[in-house]
Chain A
């Protein structure tokens, strides 16, 4: 779950990592006042969730200006940026500081070592790009999430950057603070893309971003409340569509089984599919067979008939969808007969013939024989576990594409 840059900077500053003087402004007027207060050259940075990671100080996301009037004009422009269906969460107006050197720091989890991985470079920017362009300038160091972070680790990294004397100790201080707050706030990514050294030798986090683990929201309530992040707010890369919100409501309304995530795509092949990895595989199989999915869905944990009815109506009711495919991987606990009842009932309630609308039913699960009886009664094509996911998807797509 992404934090806005001003939020990341709030966390950094609280934990003793200096950030530029400045404040967030919601509109042009506030930005002008903020610029006035700071005086001189300022930078105006759009507060975005989606693209703030793409690189430090991207020109189209921030503007350097010299006056309050210019700050206002810049803000008006920046606030027009589309941030995954949202507007920016205001702008950050900050004093511009002259740097004598720039660095970047990045911490995330490395699934291979199963430990947090600290990367540092003596150049500003996105650490992945730096690692590609100048692998020799990147210092990497794993550290433990089991024992408290030790300062020597930060000193090793600072020394690896070629620093010495007070420069080494200052850098180690920032690195250690970043590592500790990374652990303390359950972050999955904490990057300072531009860490500037100023004339006086001090370090300043100029560009940064961070992600918090969604699963950790329950134990970071205080911070999230401070940032106004609600329980339902996952800050996804784009705002959910009406179709997706309706899918979520179906899941929320009935605790029996799980439906979700439901994601809207632009195609015409309606998918009532599950679960987990099966949905990923099924969506690919439909595309591979030449189909264009109208949606992604996942059903699991033995959904009730009512839930299957609701999802069927949602998908079949989506503009551009004429037929649906009901498919899943081999499942152990989901009752195929309940899914069959649900999708057939949903189609009938919409005033259609199940055989016209359901292209294929492949749910190799429990109570399969009962499902077959129901499907045969309505003439819906059924296949069992002897038919691969690829083959089932082909049959469905062939019927839809004609």
Chain B
């Protein structure tokens, strides 16, 4: 079980011959993922660790089932790569590329929506079901990945790719493990927000609790708080909001592009208040997360 991906999930990598893509292709294959093709225009016919490279996405989708695509192309080609995948009928896109303008992201996300496709990211690392499928570059080399991510009961969503691994590592150390972890992306406009992904975890038998990592900036936490109030979810949610020091640093940007306090909704204080009002446990310290999850699980039982 798990969400969005599964053990038979077949995916491709757009931009597969790039330096980082070559690395995570190897890492995914070593982890047991099924990468059925790669795309780099002009490099058709090559191979990357045995994965055939094509010039276009359609060359692959015309001959076989493709469930998803990891897009890690240079910035200037990112939006085009997304349209290409959507037009070729691919329904799940993980967009790793950083620095995509809001206007472009909003446009291809709307296009994806019209075509019943889901976008994770941009500026994310992807999805992992521990020991089952890794779709993207979460966790680095397979050996490190196996250390940090262990099968278990907690669904994880994080605006930071690095912190996805940190939090999952802590949950694994505590013996809780993860059902599915999703790096949702650090940009101001992303394809899938916490609230939109909650129903997937809700429907997943393996998931017993959800942990999310959040940062200053954006309305995703307020949206989740609203969702939690309106839906009587069976899943306890534990959140951590990083960057509290930014509360009084109006207009300064740290870390991800989306991490800036400009509006009232952007401040960590506002996010924490809204989420607590909605019954979400907010950890004061990152180290408290596993304990809070355990408490909520014990309380629910």
- B131 at interface (Cβ–Cβ under 8 A)? no
**B163 with A288: CB separation less than 8 A:** no
- The count of chain A contact residues (Cβ–Cβ below 8 Å) is 55
**A277 with B159: CB separation less than 8 A:** yes
What is the minimal beta-carbon distance from B83 to any residue of chain A, in angstroms?
10
**B169 with A385: CB separation less than 8 A:** yes
Within 8 A of B (CB), among A178-215: 183, 186, 188-189, 213-215
**Bound form: Cα–Cα A355–B50 in Å:** 48
What is the minimal beta-carbon distance from A51 to any residue of chain B, in angstroms?
10
**B166 with A236: CB separation less than 8 A:** no
**A115 with B106: CB separation less than 8 A:** yes
**B245 with A388: CB separation less than 8 A:** no
**Bound form: Cα–Cα A300–B223 in Å:** 31
- Among residues of A, the one whose C-beta sits closest to the C-beta of B257 is A215
**B160 with A115: CB separation less than 8 A:** no
- A87 at interface (Cβ–Cβ under 8 A)? no
Decide: A389 near B286, CB < 8 A? Known: A114-B110, A145-B103.
yes
- B130 at interface (Cβ–Cβ under 8 A)? no
- The count of chain B contact residues (Cβ–Cβ below 8 Å) is 69
Which residues from B are CB-within-8-Å of A236?
A: 251-253
Which residues from B are CB-within-8-Å of A279?
A: 254-255
Within 8 A of B (CB), among A210-240: 213-216, 236-238
Which residues from A are CB-within-8-Å of B256?
A: 276-277
Decide: A277 near B242, CB < 8 A? Known: A237-B251, A285-B286, A390-B285.
yes
Which residues from B are CB-within-8-Å of A64?
A: none
- The interface stretch among A36-44, A55-63, A73-81, A330-338 is A330-338
- B90 at interface (Cβ–Cβ under 8 A)? no
With beta carbons under 8 angstroms apart, the residue of A145, A287, A388 that contacts B106 is A145
What is the minimal beta-carbon distance from A227 to any residue of chain B, in angstroms?
19
Which residues from B are CB-within-8-Å of A13?
A: none
**A114 with B140: CB separation less than 8 A:** no
Which residues from A are CB-within-8-Å of B259?
A: 280
What is the minimal beta-carbon distance from A78 to any residue of chain B, in angstroms?
21
**Bound form: Cα–Cα A296–B245 in Å:** 10
- Among residues of B, the one whose C-beta sits closest to the C-beta of A50 is B251
**Bound form: Cα–Cα A293–B165 in Å:** 25
What is the minimal beta-carbon distance from A211 to any residue of chain B, in angstroms?
8
Query: What residues of chain B have their CB less than 8 Å away from a CB belonging to chain A?
Result: 99-103, 105-111, 139-141, 144-145, 147-148, 158-163, 165-166, 169-170, 173, 186, 188-191, 193, 195, 213, 215-216, 218-220, 222-223, 240, 242-246, 250-259, 262-264, 284-288
Rank and list the top 8 A-B pairs by shortest CB-CB distance, nearest first: A332-B140, A277-B160, A390-B287, A388-B287, A237-B251, A329-B166, A280-B242, A277-B163
